[in-house]
């Protein structure tokens, strides 16, 4: 049995030291039979430990006067180890073992820097244990490294101090890396409940971004004199920058991958992100397999996976339940394949929203196949903004063999998308939709309208195909219907609901 208590101030002894594996230690040439034991010792009085969470364990859990970590090493060419820290504190006549959830920022970055400077294939080990960390940026390029494998077995918890985060970043961010594999069964816990009450960006067009008191965008000949800022709740008082609206996300993704190539994510869990859970941005050849994502159904903007400006992306055999889209396909993507995804709760699998910003890239070559959705508010949704400031296109997309159960909008194209309570007068969307296939879609709908195709008046949809669609009302009381606007869809095989008139 253990007891988790917050410590505001613990005044013990000073001059504490322990012997353990050095942060980011490198071990080469050791076989699997080798083991090393690292002893923890105390010397003299300890200084105070401020604002820590301690886990107390009873005396009978300590059987010997010396304690060690046993580390069995595999024959990796380069091995880097990140340890959580254990402290042994002596109180006469008791011995108490404290496991501190310390901020492990320096330990992680030290191990990463050593790995990135190595040559050949490199392994980074994150052992089991709980790690409390703020924003982590693992950056390349690692010029002489052919492959980096991060064995993530620990449980990473994000700090709930919102002052530590910037706009549009990931809590844990990998960027400019070739050949990264993230695996091991570990968990990223964003502790998003502290942030969700402030995250109204999806419903309030005038939502203010938290991190800055005064943000000056594209300012010219700016002069500030005798300015006082008091009671600032945010990390910066003033910010002068040039950032696109698209990049200034309100909160942070749990795990963000930026400008990556040949990336594999396998067997990783993400829970309670403050914003999106996982976001490949400007990535090539990205694979995600056996990923688990979880957040409450009412958690705002917690998309499971958001893909943007990427190509050659593949996600498969994953479980996603969250408060927003299970998977969202943003602008500028090509050759994206989504298979064998279990989605729910959430908002289904979405393309978009598209067309909100100027100079967005096209979307093409999307395949969504063999997926199951249960209790989601939408099934397959394509959403583009009205009043698009620029032209773009979404084409060559296939949704096939999708099973749906108890959802409100099984198939929906919405080219007048506006998530806010009120919007300015709407001009037509400038996103062209074409060559879109819905095949073998079956299940039950909670709404009477199971297929809703609302295309742009300015650029009507072209070549929309529905083949073997079988959707029934969940209550079984009456037959579902279809609605169509600015589109002449083409129908093949079974059609329940009946095609639009």
Same domain, 314 and 453: no
Model confidence pLDDT, tens digit, residues 398-428: 999 999 999 999 999 999 998 876 777 678 9
Q: 105 exposed, middle or buried (CB, 10 Å; 0-12, 13-18, 19+)?
A: middle
By the 8 A CB rule, do 323 and 296 touch? Answer: yes
Model confidence pLDDT, tens digit, residues 33-47: 222 222 222 222 222
Q: What is the DSSP string of 326-353?
A: SEEE-TT-EEEEEEEEEE-SSS-EEEEE
Mean of the per-residue pLDDT values for the chain? 75
> Among 28, 39, 26, 121, which residue's Cα sits nearest to residue 82?
26
β-pairing, 136-139 with 130-133? unpaired
Please report which helix (H) or strand (E) contains residue 115, including its range. helix 105-116
Same domain, 330 and 357: yes
Q: What angle do CA 152, 158, 163 make, to 5 degrees?
A: 145
By the 8 A CB rule, do 350 and 378 touch? Answer: yes
Annotation says 347 is catalytic = yes
pLDDT of residue 489: 96
> Among 281, 289, 228, which residue's Cα sits nearest to residue 252?
281
Q: What is the pTM of this model?
A: 0.76
Q: 72 exposed, middle or buried (CB, 10 Å; 0-12, 13-18, 19+)?
A: exposed
By the 8 A CB rule, do 349 and 327 touch? Answer: yes
The residues that bridge with 138 in the sheet, in sequence order, are 174
Examine the fold and report which residue of 55, 79, 100 is the final residue of a domain before the chain moves on: 100
Same domain, 53 and 132: no
Same domain, 26 and 77: yes
Residue 442, domain member (yes or no): yes
How many residues are recorded in the chain? 501
> Among 258, 369, 353, which residue's Cα sits nearest to residue 310?
258
How far apart, in whole angstroms, are the C-alpha atoms of residue 330 and residue 360? 9
Residue 298, domain member (yes or no): yes
Examine the fold and report which residue of 284, 319, 354 is the final residue of a domain before the chain moves on: 319
Same domain, 124 and 23: no
Rg (CA), the chain: 26
Same domain, 43 and 174: no
Residue 207, domain member (yes or no): no
User: Which residues does the chain have with pLDDT short of 70?
Assistant: 1-104, 166-168, 200-251, 421, 425, 501
Residue 214, domain member (yes or no): no
Same domain, 40 and 67: yes
Read off the CATH number of the domain in which 173 is found: 2.160.20.10
How far apart, in whole angstroms, are the C-alpha atoms of residue 469 and residue 498? 9
> Among 468, 434, 476, 430, which residue's Cα sits nearest to residue 451?
468
Residue 304, domain member (yes or no): yes
Residue range(s) defining the domain that contains residue 138: 103-200+243-319
Residues 80, 151, 306, 347: which is the catalytic one? 347
Number of domains present in the structure of the chain: 3
Same domain, 110 and 92: no
Same domain, 496 and 467: yes
pLDDT of residue 443: 97
Residue 426, domain member (yes or no): yes
Same domain, 303 and 358: no
Same domain, 51 and 195: no
The residues that bridge with 316 in the sheet, in sequence order, are 289, 339
Examine the fold and report which residue of 68, 83, 100 is the final residue of a domain before the chain moves on: 100
β-pairing, 68-72 with 35-39? antiparallel
By the 8 A CB rule, do 276 and 254 touch? Answer: yes
* Residue carrying structure tokens 């669609």: 469
Residue 222, domain member (yes or no): no
How far apart, in whole angstroms, are the C-alpha atoms of residue 394 and residue 392? 7
Same domain, 113 and 96: no
pLDDT of residue 372: 98
pLDDT of residue 323: 96
Residue 234, domain member (yes or no): no
């Amino acid at each position: 049995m253990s007891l988790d208590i917050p410590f505001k101030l613990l005044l013990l002894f000073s001059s504490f030291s322990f012997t353990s594996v050095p942060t980011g230690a490198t071990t080469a040439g050791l076989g699997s039979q080798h083991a090393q034991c690292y002893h923890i010792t105390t010397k003299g009085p300890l200084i105070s430990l401020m604002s820590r969470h301690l886990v107390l364990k009873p005396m009978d859990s300590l059987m010997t006067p010396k304690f060690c970590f046993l580390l069995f090493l595999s024959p990796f060419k380069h091995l880097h180890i990140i340890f959580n820290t254990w402290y042994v504190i002596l109180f006469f006549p008791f011995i108490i073992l404290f496991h501190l959830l310390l901020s492990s920022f320096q330990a992680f970055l030290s191990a990463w820097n050593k790995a990135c400077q190595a040559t050949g294939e490199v392994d980074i080990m994150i052992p089991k244990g709980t790690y409390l960390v703020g924003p982590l940026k693992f950056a390349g390029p690692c010029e002489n490294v052919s492959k980096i494998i991060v064995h993530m077995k620990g449980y990473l918890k994000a700090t709930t101090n919102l002052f530590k985060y910037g706009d549009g970043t990931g809590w844990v961010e990998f960027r400019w890396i070739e050949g990264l594999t993230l695996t091991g069964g570990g968990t990223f816990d964003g502790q998003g409940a502290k942030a969700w009450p402030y995250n109204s960006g999806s419903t309030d067009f005038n939502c203010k971004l938290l991190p800055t008191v005064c943000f000056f965008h594209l300012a010219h000949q700016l002069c500030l004199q005798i300015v006082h800022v008091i009671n600032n709740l945010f990390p910066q008082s003033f910010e002068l920058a040039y950032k696109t609206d698209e990049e200034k996300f309100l909160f942070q993704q749990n795990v963000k991958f930026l400008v990556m190539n040949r990336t594999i994510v396998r067997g990783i869990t993400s829970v309670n992100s403050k914003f999106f859970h996982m976001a490949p941005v400007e990535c090539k050849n990205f694979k995600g397999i056996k990923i688990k994502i979880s957040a409450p159904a009412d958690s705002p903007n917690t998309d499971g996976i958001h893909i943007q400006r990427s190509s050659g992306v593949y996600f498969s055999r994953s479980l996603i339940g969250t408060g927003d889209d299970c998977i969202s396909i943003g602008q500028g993507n090509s050759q994206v394949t989504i298979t064998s995804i279990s989605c729910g709760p959430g908002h289904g699998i979405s393309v978009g929203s598209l067309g909100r910003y100027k100079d967005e890239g096209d979307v093409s070559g999307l395949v969504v196949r063999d997926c199951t959705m249960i209790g989601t508010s939408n099934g397959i949704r394509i959403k583009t903004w009205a009043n698009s400031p620029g032209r773009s296109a979404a084409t060559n997309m296939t949704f096939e063999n999708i099973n749906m159960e108890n959802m409100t909008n099984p198939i929906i194209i919405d080219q007048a998308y506006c998530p806010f309570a009120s919007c300015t007068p709407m001009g037509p969307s400038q996103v062209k939709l074409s060559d879109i296939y819905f095949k073998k879609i079956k299940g039950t709908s909670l709404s009477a309208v199971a297929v809703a195709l609302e295309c742009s008046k300015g650029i009507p949809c072209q070549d929309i195909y529905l083949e073997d669609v079988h959707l029934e009302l969940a209550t079984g009381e009456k037959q579902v219907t279809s609605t169509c606007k600015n589109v002449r869809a083409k129908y093949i095989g079974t059609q329940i609901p009946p095609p639009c008139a």
